[in-house]
Amino acid sequence: MLTKRIIACLDVDGGRVVKGVRFKNLRDAGDPAQCATAHARSGADEIVLLDITATSGNRRPLLDVIRATARSLFVPFTVGGGIRQLEDSAAIFDAGADKIAINSAAVHDPTLIGRIAACFGSQAVVVAIDARKVNGGSAKRGFEVFTSGGRVPTGRDAIE
């Protein structure tokens, strides 16, 4: 039987782990590599590192932070943020990630999901969806998809 997994998520901004409430009022939570190691030691089944301003800041993923974090980890390591094309994911796998997470790019170019899966396997691709409850908006079932770190509404329904 497959066990239920507990995943610790590191939202990274400016090379530091941060955490806010509803994507705002960010507080510092430490160094990514140290934070990841601590969570893995206490029993996390997976670590996710999200570069939360890569897309909105039009930046490439922070490969040095990814590399330093991957080096200290022995549990599956997923990286997301700013992945726009196949080459971005290749660089992230090279830096030591086991899986990549795509969010904005999966909305703008859904073929990217299949292209990454064809190169690296479907186990290596996660689609992350930021959904916000809307009343009477364009999302039929009540949850609208947002991209760019929760900044840009898409008019798309989360379930559909």
Q: Quick check: is 94 catalytic?
A: no
- Is 131 a binding residue for another protein by CB under 8 A? The answer is yes
CA dihedral 36, 40, 41, 42 (to 10 degrees): 110
- Is 7 a binding residue for another protein by CB under 8 A? The answer is yes
Pairing between β-strand 46-51 and β-strand 24-30 as defined by DSSP bridges: unpaired
Select from 6, 87, 109, 110 the one that contacts another protein (CB under 8 A).
Answer: 6
User: Which part of the chain contacts another protein (CB under 8 A), choosing from 22-30, 61-69, 82-90, 104-112?
Assistant: 22-30
Residue pair 127/113 in contact by the 8 Å Cβ criterion: yes
User: Which part of the chain contacts another protein (CB under 8 A), choosing from 16-24, 65-73, 82-90, 102-110?
Assistant: 16-24
Written as one letter, the residue type at 126 is: V
**Cα–Cα distances in angstroms (integers) from residue 151 to residues 2, 6, 104, 129, 145, in the given order:** 35, 27, 10, 13, 10
- Is 150 a binding residue for another protein by CB under 8 A? The answer is yes
- Restricted to residues 32-91, the positions that interact with another protein (CB under 8 A) are 35, 39, 41-46, 48
Catalytic residue list: 11, 130
